[in-house]
Structure 1
Amino acid sequence: MSHQMMLITSTQNKLYKKFKSLNLKKNREIEGLFILEGQRYVDTALAMGYVFDAIIFDGSTWEAQVESNKDQMYLKSCPVYTMTSTMIKELTQTEQSQGIIGISHIQTNSFDIESFGHNVLFLDRIQDPGNLGTIIRTADAAGFNTILMAKGTVDPYNPKVVRSTAGSILNVRLLEVNEKIGALNSMKESGFRVVVTALEHASDYNEPKNYGEKNCIVIGNEANGVSSEIIDIADVRVKIPIVGKAESLNASVAAALMMYKAREIMDGRS
């Protein structure tokens, strides 16, 4: 075979420690790398132009895995390693090995409003990895190809987030914005209607008049909602009716309802 398989046998191995360190945000930022698990997602990332620093196979299944991957370019263009199932589980902090892991470079995106499409999601300090992963997956399904994240939002390359996106992290443009008010004002100047979820002075999210031709939907922090400074500059405040006794909706559910409502209204106008 044209590639060379390298065996990592110890958790004290320098490379193993480097790969495992990617579970922490600071190390992902330093290295510019993240962990991607599973054959389908590694294949998809490769097809989309992601660059791999390494491919890791489960030692118990690697011969079959390599045989089925023998034509893949990543076996020729980056180092390929194998390690035990136990080491992979410790590396990925999961109970079950996916058989293949890609150590991928993080793609960087610029704040290019013209490339954002007609619907953008803006996340104001979403902190739960499961929520963010579900939101990214739903945004992908609803055709929101850009997600802007205010400082304080959980890192989208957190392994728990990556897993819960079910591959959608590869399909959506992700950008962290340091100055959220400046970013939103730029969106407004470019014709986006900034629509925020709020409890007071808000109209029903179902009303078509709340949505424009281009929409920036803002979803707030799980505990505190959208920050007051964003509410102050929003074009529209909306609320999702709660008929029962629940105090609020989960942030990912609110995001899903808002995105699909904007999509439905826009599709109805076209």
Structure 2
Amino acid sequence: MPAVITSLKDDHLQQVRALANRTGRAEAGGCLLEGAVLITQAVEAGAALRFVLAAEGAADPVTSLLAEAHVPVMVVKESVLRQAVRLNRAVSWLAVAELAAVAGDDQPYGDFAVVLDNVLDPGNLGTIVRTAVGLGVADIVCTDPETDLTSRRVLDASRAAVLRARLRRYDTPVQAVRDLRERGFEVVATSGRADTLQGSVPLSGRPVALIVGNETDGVGDDVLELADHVVRIPMSGDVESLNVGVATGISLYELRTRMALAMLGPVVGELVGAVSDLREPGYVGEDAAERALAGFSEAERAQFGDFLRRMRENLRRKG
């Protein structure tokens, strides 16, 4: 039975106290995960945990998982653990996790980025990050010093997805958009006042940066002026707008799909042009499909591989 930590002067508890604010988390490169569920999700997602603190007498749903992941576990007197995190309620499990480093200017982007223009609510931030990571988007761009993706509330709402994201920071939204445009991104901003419906935006097949705005004010006018496309989600009835977390999820899914279809456009044309060769083994359509899929991630290959196979069969029947 390990010795029970009973003093706030213990080094592990000092580390916990240092992570109480955003500045401390940034300096230490760590963050706090509270609760067995969130800790389990972090371990299963491959996040690096420095150590875990368990309140004395707490139920034990995660020790075996932590042992398999070689994460050290210390037992702390419950009242002392509560003091360390400055909460007036019981805390059973607490982990110190490695925080995803803010990506440097020299670290390449993926093919899709989400830009946060003064989105502040922790629940919305967590939902956006969780949805983005779930759809294969790792680059999350913060453009306001008040946006904190490392707080406990955001980490909880994201189900630890923040630990799998590439966090990027710019001083202003305008600076972020200008840099992304220089990197070749096609910039899409959302606005309830836009004339263009999101489903009809003509994407070119380049990487896409989706800009979502503040819960009340939306995307700033200075940012809208720099966007390649300003779009809105069609609404019916008397509903004027959607929650920014929900709207971002809809936009991410639709734009990711349209982006992939835009990239597949030339290949589809090549497949259609190959109808006369469809009944022969090794026809050009198969080569075109392989060339197209080579540029996609495994998830995208799985998604659009079925599409290409169905097209091949349809063209064979028509041929």
Corresponding residue for residue 121 of structure 1: 114
Secondary structure of 1:115's aligned partner: coil
Structure 1 counterpart of 2:30: 33
Matches within 5 A, 1:1-270: 5-10=2-7, 16=13, 18-37=15-34, 38=36, 39-44=39-44, 47-48=46-47, 50=48, 52=50, 54-61=51-58, 66=63, 69-75=66-72, 80-85=73-78, 87-88=80-81, 91=85, 93=87, 97=91, 99-112=92-105, 115-210=108-203, 212-269=205-262, 270=264
Instruction: Pick closer, same or farther for the CA change 1:200–1:214 going to 2, 3 Å.
Output: same
Question: Residue 198 of structure 1 contacts residue 237 of structure 1 at CA under 8 Å; is this kept in 2?
Answer: yes
Report the identity percentage.
Answer: 24
> What is the rounded CA distance, in whole Å, between the counterparts of 2:60 and 2:159 in structure 1?
26
**d(CA) in 1 for partners of 2:215, 2:152:** 20
Q: For residues 241 and 60 of structure 2, what CA distance do their matches in structure 1 show?
A: 50
Whole-angstrom CA distance in 2 between matches of 1:68 and 1:209: 47
Aligned residues between the structures: 259
Q: Deviations over 1:206-242 (max 9, x none)?
A: 1141564311000001111111211111111101122
Shift in alpha-carbon separation, 1:71–1:194, aligned structure 2, 3 A:
closer
The separation in 2 between residues aligned to 1:222 and 1:169, in whole angstroms, is 20
Deviations for 1:123-172, whole angstroms, at most 9, x for unmatched residues?
A: 01111000000100110112211111112452111000001111211222
Greater helix share, 1 or 2?
Answer: 2
**Alpha-carbon shift at residue 107 of structure 1 (Å):** 3.0
List runs of 5+ in structure 1 lacking aligned partners. none
Q: 1:190 to 1:14 in 2, by over 3 A?
A: closer
Structure 2 counterpart of 1:237, one-letter code:
V
Larger Rg: 2
Query: 2:294 maps to which residue?
Result: none
Residue 189 of structure 1: how far off its partner (Å): 2.1
Quick one: distance in 2 between partners of 1:237 and 1:215?
Answer: 13
| Structure that is richer in strand per residue | 1
Secondary structure of residue in 2 paired with 1:107: coil
One-letter amino acid matched to 2:43: D
- Does structure 2 conserve the Cα–Cα contact (< 8 Å) formed by 1:121 and 1:218? yes
Counterparts of 2:179 and 2:94, CA distance in 1: 39
Q: Is the 8 A contact 1:145 1:173 kept in 2?
A: yes
Unpaired runs of 5+ residues, structure 2, are 265-319
**Change beyond 3 A, Cα 1:207–1:68:** closer
SS of equivalent to 2:215: coil
- Residue identity opposite 1:58 in structure 2: A
Any idea what SS the aligned residue of 1:268 has? Answer: helix
Note the C-alpha offset of 1:247: 3.1
Distance of aligned partners of 1:113 and 1:193 in 2 relative to their CA distance in 1, 3 Å threshold:
farther
**Alignment TM-score, normalising by the size of structure 1:** 0.82
| TM-score, normalisation: structure 2 | 0.70
Q: State the Cα deviation string for residues 29-61 of structure 1 (Å, max 9, x = none).
A: 34332102334234246x45x361x32123214
Cα RMSD after superposing both structures: 3.0
Structure 1 residues 59 and 218, CA, compared in 2 at 3 Å: closer, same or farther?
same
Deviation at 1:82, TM superposition (A): 1.4
- Sort the Cα spacing of 1:162 and 1:187 in 2 relative to 1 into closer, same or farther, 3 A: same
